[in-house]
Amino acid sequence: MNYSGGSKYGVIDASARVNQCDHPGCGAEANHRAPKDRSKLDDYFWFCLDHIREYNRNWNYYAGMSDGQIETEIRNDTVWRRPSWPFGGGAPDREFSANVRFRDDLGIFNAASSFHSKQKGTERDNRPRHDAQVEHALKIMNIDGPVNLTALKSRYKELVKRLHPDANGGDRMAEEKLKDINQAYATVKKFLVA
């Protein structure tokens, strides 16, 4: 079968289309397209190879723009023409509360906060005050100062290894001390997670 001018599915193939060069006075076959204007990037001229080379040498996307407009274009292109906001600020139309609480298992933000408060010479601790039970539990575990969950777990593992009955040959005193450590750990952990 002969499907002149199209493919066997009835769709005209783009390579089968023959354009004439849009350069004045040139009637050569045009296989290369070029945008007509920076505001019409989807509207094309068709050129032959010689004339597309000439067009590309002379075409300047920024022609006719002021320095400020060029700078704005370049800045928009660096963020793929999408809006951006200052780091950590979020979108300006979004509600964002500075009082949002989140888990800081590594204690990174608490450490930074305590460092900055010491730098300023002020004591800023936003956590609720320890009650007597938590204070007693911290003494049992021999932990002083601000504590985070990671430091608590590390200290707990260290004490369990040292006081475990298998490590102490079944010593009753070590076993009783381990029970106190378990209770103290649960109390402090409950306080930190809350």
CATH number, residue 165 = 1.10.287.110
Two structure tokens written together for 56? 């590309």
CB 33 within 8 A of CB 45: yes
Look at residue 168 and tell me if it is in a domain. Answer: yes
Q: Domain for residue 178, yes or no? A: yes
Q: Is residue 49 part of a domain?
A: no
- Has residue 46 been placed in a domain? no
Is 81 within a domain?
A: no
Quick one: which of 4, 51, 54, 61 has its CA closest to 29?
51
What pLDDT, on a 0 to 100 scale, did the predictor assign at position 8? 47
**Average pLDDT across the chain, whole number:** 76
Q: Quick one: tokens of 147? A: 């504590």
Task: Tell me which residue range forms the domain holding 174.
Answer: 129-193
Q: Is-contact 45 34, C-beta < 8 A? A: yes
Residue 66 has pLDDT above 90, yes or no: yes
Q: State the Cα–Cα distance between residues 53 and 49, nearest whole angstrom.
A: 6
pTM of the predicted structure, to 2 decimals: 0.35
Which helix (H) or strand (E) segment holds residue 73: the answer is helix 67-78
Higher pLDDT, 15 or 137: 137
Average pLDDT over residues 112-117: 56
CA distance linking residue 162 with residue 185, whole number of Å? 15
Per the structure, the count of domains in the chain is 1
Please report whether residue 150 resides in a domain.
yes
pLDDT digits (tens, 9 = 90+) for 135-154: 888 888 888 877 888 888 98
Q: Does residue 133 lie in a domain region?
A: yes
Query: Which of 9-23, 100-114, 122-136, 177-191 is predicted most confidently?
Result: 177-191
- Does some domain include residue 148? yes
What is the pLDDT averaged over residues 103-109? Answer: 70
Torsion of CA 182, 188, 191, 194, to 10 degrees: -60
